[in-house]
Amino acid sequence: MTIIGFVRHGVTAWNKEGRAQGSSDVPLDEEGIEMAIRVAERLAGEQWDAIYTSPQKRAKETAEIIAGKMVGMELVEDVRLREVGGGKVEGTTEAERIEKWGEDWRLLDMGFEPQEAIIERGLASIKEIKAKYPEQSVLVVSHGSFIKRMLNELIADTTFDISLDNTSITIVDLQDNKGICELFNCTKHLQL
């Protein structure tokens, strides 16, 4: 079995404004950096063998802060861990989408990355991590929509549809033929 600890990146200005980020390369804001420091301090007291990260600024910055608290930790960028491509809605708020495309904008072709492509790239990355780190624990720093899709694929008979909190930790035990969610959306490090 391999343990995967999914960590959502720290908060950004666009998160606070309710803007769809998708593949846009938005950095952490000051609060996001502080959140990343807090999750890093928490994780530094645990046993992790490597950190994989999306190359997008908000995730990569979070991963670098975590790695900075863990001496000699391997940090690997993997483009397959990037956020879901948001097409035409990237950079917009819900109000702006309604103003531009109307109340039923979700029914239009907005150029979103296809679900099948997201699942394929994500599972390929997880499969490689599992093969490279059998019987070990690996952090995967990524994005809310991407992580939810991975959880829905890795854990049978469960649907994860709530939004994951920034710097939340979700731990999945990848056993031979199924995944078991050991911890979900935990942010106790932010309540200090």
Report pLDDT for 1: 87
**6 inside domain:** yes
φ/ψ of residue 34, rounded to 5: -65, -40
Cβ atoms 60, 119 nearer than 8 A: no
Q: Domain for residue 55, yes or no?
A: yes
pLDDT tens figures, 23-77: 999 999 999 999 999 999 999 999 999 999 999 999 999 999 999 999 889 999 9
Measuring CA to CA, how many Å separate 49 from each of 32, 66, 70?
24, 12, 10
Residue 174 is assigned to a structural domain of this protein: yes
pLDDT tens digit sequence for 93-128: 999 999 999 999 999 999 999 999 999 999 999 999
Q: What is the pTM of this model?
A: 0.95
The total of structural domains in the chain comes to 1
On whether residue 78 sits in a domain, the answer given is yes
- Look up the CATH number of the domain holding residue 160: 3.40.50.1240
Predicted confidence at residue 192, as pLDDT, reads 66
Does the pLDDT at position 141 exceed 80? Answer: yes
What range defines the domain where residue 127 resides? 2-86+114-191
* Catalytic sites, residue numbers: 9, 83
Residue 146: pLDDT band with limits 50, 70, 90 = very high
